């Protein structure tokens, strides 16, 4: 299987354009509706490809574009697609208990990031494009922000974010424990093609 990153981004963009052009009935048909979940169980999957605004989809697709290729190189496209979709569905399921309606790929993106936190915790990133820090510290801060979000009416599905990250962390932990010995390359923050090959040999 070739890379799934751009097909996923393309699918999200196509669905968003359909939302804009077909009207609210299209969004309402496929978004997560807790009251009617048993009548429309497919919403657990379809809702993760819907977005509420241009800003909403822009942030999610930016996260997918930045972190997705790196994680996909580490675990392969099939595993990547598994954690992405599983994270999104699990986030949707958890949202049933917190929100009347929900939509967006945030849970799937957070699952992807959660997996990467376990595999490359010391990867240097710029939090909010400004503050340099290891990925694991950024993950702690993102989780803290989502927990704090429960106490404010911010129109953000914080529970979905946390659910996705939790699943991703569990998946990353499981992958990491499958290796008998952690390779030296895991201590590096800049990888080349040889480093990726060395990592994949441990699976």
Of 203 and 158, the structure prediction assigns the larger pLDDT to 158
Q: In the block, which residue shows the tokens 């974010």?
A: 161
For 7-36, what is the mean pLDDT?
Answer: 92
Contact call for residues 188 and 134 (beta carbons, < 8 A): no
* pTM as predicted: 0.80
CB 71 within 8 A of CB 4: no
Average pLDDT, the chain: 85
Arithmetic mean of pLDDT, 25-49: 90
pLDDT at 12 over 70: yes
pLDDT at 88 over 90: yes
State the Cα–Cα distance between residues 158 and 10, nearest whole angstrom.
25
Could you tell me whether strands 101-102 and 131-134 are parallel, antiparallel, or unpaired per DSSP bridges?
A: unpaired
| 173 vs 117: CA distance, rounded Å | 9
Mean pLDDT, residues 164-183 taken together = 78
Q: Are 93 and 159 in contact (CB under 8 A)?
A: no
- Each domain of the chain, given as residue ranges in start order, spans 5-175
Q: Is the pLDDT of residue 89 over 50?
A: yes
Residue 180 has a pLDDT of 47
Question: Residue 49: is its pLDDT beyond 50?
Answer: yes
How much is the average pLDDT of 30-51?
A: 90
- Give pLDDT tens digits for 100-159: 898 989 999 999 999 999 888 888 877 766 778 888 888 888 888 888 777 776 677 888
Q: What is the pLDDT of residue 122?
A: 85
**Residue 90 near residue 109, CB atoms below 8 Å:** no
Give the mean pLDDT of 70-97.
Answer: 92
- Per CATH, which fold does 5-175 belong to? Rhomboid-like fold (1.20.1540)
Of 3-17, 86-100, 113-127, give the lowest mean pLDDT range: 113-127
Averaged pLDDT for residues 170-185: 71
Mean predicted confidence (pLDDT) in 28-37:
89
Q: Cα torsion at 20, 23, 29, 31 (round to 10°)?
A: 40
């Amino acid at each position: 299987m070739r890379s799934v990153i751009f097909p996923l981004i393309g699918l999200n963009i196509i669905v968003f354009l359909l939302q804009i052009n077909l009207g609210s009935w299209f969004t309402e048909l496929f978004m997560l509706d807790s009251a009617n979940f048993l009548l429309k169980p497919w919403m657990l999957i379809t809702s993760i490809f819907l977005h509420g605004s241009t800003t909403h989809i822009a942030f999610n697709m930016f996260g997918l574009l930045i972190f997705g290729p790196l994680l996909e190189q580490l675990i392969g496209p099939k595993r990547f697609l598994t954690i992405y979709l599983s994270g999104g569905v699990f986030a949707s399921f958890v949202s049933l208990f917190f929100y009347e309606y929900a939509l967006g790929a945030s849970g799937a993106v957070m699952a992807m990031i959660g997996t990467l936190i376990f595999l490359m915790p010391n990867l240097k990133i710029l939090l909010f494009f400004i503050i340099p820090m290891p990925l694991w510290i950024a993950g702690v801060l993102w989780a803290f922000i989502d927990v704090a979000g429960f106490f404010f009416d911010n129109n953000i599905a914080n529970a979905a974010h946390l659910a996705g990250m939790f699943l991703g962390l569990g998946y990353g932990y499981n992958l990491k424990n499958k290796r008998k010995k952690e390779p030296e390359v895991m201590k590096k923050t800049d990888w080349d093609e040889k480093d990726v090959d060395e990592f994949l040999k441990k699976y």
